[in-house]
Amino acid sequence: MKEIEELKPLLYSVSKEIFENPETAYKEYRSSKILTEILKKEGFNVEKNICGYETAFIAKYGEGDVKIAFLAEYDALPGIGHGCGHNIIASASLGAGIALKRLIEKENLNATVYVIGCPGEEAEGAKVKFAEEGIFKGIDVAMMIHPSDKTLIKEKFLAIKEVRFKFYGRASHAAASPEKGINALDGVILTYNNINALRQHLREDVRIHGIITEGGSAPNIVPEYAEAYFFVRATDNEYLEETLKKVKKCADGAALAIGAKLEIELGKGYKAFYPNNTLAEVFEKNLKSLGIKIDEPKEFGGLGSSDIGDVSCVVPTIHPFISISDKELRLHSKEFAEASISERGNNAIIIGAEAMLLTSLDIIKNPDLLKRIKEEFVPR
Ligand SMILES: [Zn+2]
Ligand SMILES: [Zn+2]
């Protein structure tokens, strides 16, 4: 497409610039600046410091009825740099945003375009707060693409909740007066084993994985404090809640058995990702029209969690993956980082931007399609 084609040099240089200067979660000052400066120059209205996140931004152009958002991520991983290819995500959304803006202007389309800068995806993702605080209110659809070794349209992400179990026992000499002690480490070990017993009776999509973060200071002291840190995941929000209740009971039972005091601390969580099928099918059609082959969806497994889940619970959303390699690639690896700046990586920017642009035009020009997208959407 001409609109994206003419942006190629700009998008490649933005991707390279972000790649060569990797910034970890919430420290993406330079990346955020590069993107916002370009968007400002292009005529977007740019707001920074969103929901208290300094490196977040909302760039908006137009006043039309159909409101389309392209989401940009630009954080890197400590030590690995752009091993998740967020330089591609940022550049593709930038490209789709600028191209749609120019078309709105040129063809007087009844649309508003947003490029939303979403920092910290690899940490406590900003999109959670964005969704909670109504940033997506009024927006009709949200889109982004993510690089991968496969091209996949409707991959799911697991809902996740972090949980910490803190056991308080009583210290005592482990040989001279063990009967006076309460072993907090036993609380952690029993919790671990209770959860292992529970696994057999959970749905197969559940993932529970934990570590022991504190387990005492010396063998001759009955540990008075011990702590375990777990992630609990499932493919839907409801089953995650149900599982979480059972997991908590595993710790309750352990505390009861040994007479320790237990504190359960819930940490960050992401909702499950529910892709909008109608929107995804339009994207798929457009991707195919660009000559891209879609890979077979994966069997269950190989799924992580992302704050895009929270977005999909408040606005119709897609998060397709675009292949950047013919070889199998692990996310968050050096090899993935290399592929993110390769020719295939650059190509994914263009393909992603074009498919998102075409999908936006379909929605803007076909009110019935947007109606169907919205009918399918279930707020969660
Ligand atoms: Zn990642
Ligand atoms: Zn990622």
- Contact call for residues 188 and 215 (beta carbons, < 8 A): yes
CA of 96 to the centre of ligand 1 (A): 22
CA of 24 to the centre of ligand 1 (A): 11
CA of 122 to the centre of ligand 2 (A): 7
CA of 34 to the centre of ligand 1 (A): 21
| Structure tokens, 349 | 């920017």
pLDDT of residue 167: 98
For residue 195, which of 256, 241, 257, 244 has the smallest C-alpha distance? 244
CA of 23 to the centre of ligand 2 (A): 14
Q: What is the pLDDT of residues 246-288, one digit of tens each?
A: 999 999 999 999 999 999 999 999 999 999 999 999 999 999 9
CA of 89 to the centre of ligand 2 (A): 8
CA of 148 to the centre of ligand 1 (A): 10
- How long, in residues, is the chain? 380
Q: Is the pLDDT of residue 300 over 90?
A: no
Q: Is the pLDDT of residue 81 over 70?
A: yes
| Structure tokens, 83 | 């091993």
CA of 179 to the centre of ligand 1 (A): 48
- Contact call for residues 132 and 268 (beta carbons, < 8 A): no
Q: Strands 141-143 and 225-234: what pairing?
A: unpaired
pLDDT of residue 303: 80
- Contact call for residues 246 and 350 (beta carbons, < 8 A): no
For residue 94, which of 14, 212, 198 has the smallest C-alpha distance? 14
Q: How confident is the model at residue 301 (pLDDT cuts 50, 70, 90)?
A: low
**3-class state of residue 376 by DSSP:** helix
Question: Which ligand number lies closest to the CA of residue 146?
Answer: 2
pLDDT of residue 297: 85
Distance, in Å, from the CA atom of 61 to the CA atom of 105, rounded to the nearest integer, reads 9
CA of 74 to the centre of ligand 2 (A): 9
Q: Is the pLDDT of residue 6 over 80?
A: yes
- Per-residue buried b or exposed e for 221-255, using 16+ beta carbons within 10 Å of the residue's own CB: ebbbbbbbbbbbbbbbbebbeebbebbbebbeebb
For residue 317, which of 345, 276, 281 has the smallest C-alpha distance? 276
Structural domains of the chain, with CATH: 2-157+273-376 (3.40.630.10), 159-270 (3.30.70.360)
pLDDT of residue 133: 98
CA of 76 to the centre of ligand 2 (A): 9
When the pLDDT of each residue in the chain is averaged and rounded to a whole number, the result is 97
Q: Is the pLDDT of residue 302 over 70?
A: no
pLDDT of residue 354: 98
Q: How confident is the model at residue 322 (pLDDT cuts 50, 70, 90)?
A: very high
Q: How confident is the model at residue 39 (pLDDT cuts 50, 70, 90)?
A: very high
Distance, in Å, from the CA atom of 91 to the CA atom of 359, rounded to the nearest integer, reads 17
DSSP string, 237-267: HHHHHHHHHHHHHHHHHHHHHHT-EEEEEEE
CA of 331 to the centre of ligand 1 (A): 7
Strand partners, 321: 146, 152
Distance, in Å, from the CA atom of 368 to the CA atom of 252, rounded to the nearest integer, reads 52
pLDDT of residue 298: 75
Q: What is the mean pLDDT of residues 329-352?
A: 97
Q: How confident is the model at residue 235 (pLDDT cuts 50, 70, 90)?
A: very high
CA of 59 to the centre of ligand 2 (A): 21
Question: Which ligand number lies closest to the CA of residue 86?
Answer: 2
- Contact call for residues 105 and 149 (beta carbons, < 8 A): no
**3-class state of residue 375 by DSSP:** helix
Model pTM score: 0.95
CA of 86 to the centre of ligand 2 (A): 6
CA of 114 to the centre of ligand 2 (A): 20
Question: Which ligand number lies closest to the CA of residue 123?
Answer: 1
Q: What is the pLDDT of residues 189-229, one digit of tens each?
A: 999 999 999 999 999 999 999 999 999 999 999 999 999 99
CA of 82 to the centre of ligand 1 (A): 9
Q: What is the mean pLDDT of residues 225-238?
A: 97
CA of 334 to the centre of ligand 1 (A): 12
Q: How confident is the model at residue 16 (pLDDT cuts 50, 70, 90)?
A: very high
